[in-house]
Amino acid sequence: MATRVGFIGLGNMGKPMAINLIKARFDLMVYDLRPEPMQELAALGAKCARSPDEIGNHAEIIELVVVDDAQVEAVTFEEGGVLGAAKPGTIIAIHSTVHPRTVRKVAALAEAKGVTVIDAEVSGGERGAYAKTLCYMVGGDKHAFEKCRPLFATSGASIFHLGELGAGAITKLAHNLIVYVNMLAASEGIKLAQTAGVDPAAMEQVVHAGAAQSRIADHWSQQRKLGATYTTGPHGLMQLIHKDLRLALELGHDLGLPLPGAALTQQLIARILEIENQAV
């Protein structure tokens, strides 16, 4: 019998991840606030829930790909959340980029109901989800992780168990800090060359061949347009980056670790994405 899976959040990342589960023949039930992606998944064979608690009643494993900490809390332990109906033995995998304290808070409430929570953050974007090349960063119970591994393998090429609960969230925040500071460097370096008269396309070729090469700096002209394909547009992408850097800065503050590069990058998000006069 196919594992009963619940999936909440069908945005840029969540929708292709859920589609991959359908293709792998898992018994999938999905939920999203927007009807359009639910209808699309239903046409492919998924069941559709009317609320998160219906997901909790259906699933053995629940995957969350919502936007932020508040949404994770809302769909888990607030009224109508999955924990109101989840059975003992259920596993919740949090894929959202959140603060590790949120993961631990949800896990503590879930434990009282016999439900296990792991943090299983992902990197690779919408393109990586469709290509099944995502990187999973997982923290928490090793047995629960192994039970989830077949699900993660439907979208992931690299799956890492990094230690205790919260390790996945910590790793994702550190990873994203590196990505966004790299975005600042790519933006300023290529802008400098272009303003001084060098063809930006030629500059990109040099970056790709030289020591500045990185996934972010490569083809920067395409990278900086990602916001145009984001579910909520470039302003939504900017807010998401701002949120991720805020969480990284909060974690650094908790640890007594200054992160000046992250702080500067957070202030310059609109400039990096070439969005003018937009407050976050």
User: What distance in Å separates the CA atoms of residue 57 and residue 85, rounded to the nearest whole number?
Assistant: 5
Active site residue 172: yes
* pLDDT in the model for residue 231: 58
What domains does the chain contain, in order, with CATH numbers? 4-164 (3.40.50.720), 170-272 (1.10.1040.10)
* Active-site option among 172, 191, 225, 243: 172
Report CA 102 to chain centroid distance, whole Å.
15
Tokens representing 16?
Answer: 């292709």
User: What distance in Å separates the CA atoms of residue 179 and residue 135, rounded to the nearest whole number?
Assistant: 14
* pLDDT in the model for residue 237: 82
Under 8 Å CB-to-CB from 211, ≥6 apart: which residues?
none
273 burial (CB, 10 Å; 0-12 / 13-18 / 19+) is: buried
* pLDDT in the model for residue 224: 64
pTM value is 0.93
In which residue ranges of the chain is pLDDT below 70?
A: 223-234, 276-280
Q: What burial letters (b/e) apply to 119-143, b meaning 16+ CB within 10 Å?
A: bbbbbbbbebbbebebbbbbbbbee
* pLDDT in the model for residue 215: 86
- φ and ψ at 184, to 5 degrees? -60, -45
Q: Are 40 and 32 in contact (CB under 8 A)?
A: no
* pLDDT in the model for residue 234: 65
Q: Are 96 and 39 in contact (CB under 8 A)?
A: no
